[in-house]
């Protein structure tokens, strides 16, 4: 009886894992545009001044 219960629980866990995996949508080819910085982006004037 104990082995049967273990087998059923294992099958139940596997079935729920496959169902959760099937819910995922295919990844898009376009990545997210993430930008992390502690400093603010320089303005166009500051970029031009830095070039010279």
What are the tens digits of pLDDT across the range 5-46?
999 989 888 777 666 555 566 666 666 667 777 788 889 999
The tokens of 14 are what?
Answer: 């596997």
Per DSSP, helices labelled H in the chain are 2-22, 44-51
Q: In whole angstroms, what separates CA 23 from the centre of its chain?
A: 14
Residue with tokens 């995996």: 21
The tokens of 23 are what?
Answer: 């819910």
What is the model's pLDDT at position 8? 92
What is the model's pLDDT at position 20? 58
23 secondary structure, DSSP code: T
pTM: 0.36
């Amino acid at each position: 009886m104990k082995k049967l219960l273990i087998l059923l629980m294992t099958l139940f866990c596997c079935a729920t894992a496959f169902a959760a995996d099937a819910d995922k949508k295919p990844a898009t080819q376009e990545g997210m545009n993430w930008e992390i910085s502690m400093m603010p982006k320089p303005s166009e004037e500051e970029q031009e001044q830095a070039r010279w």
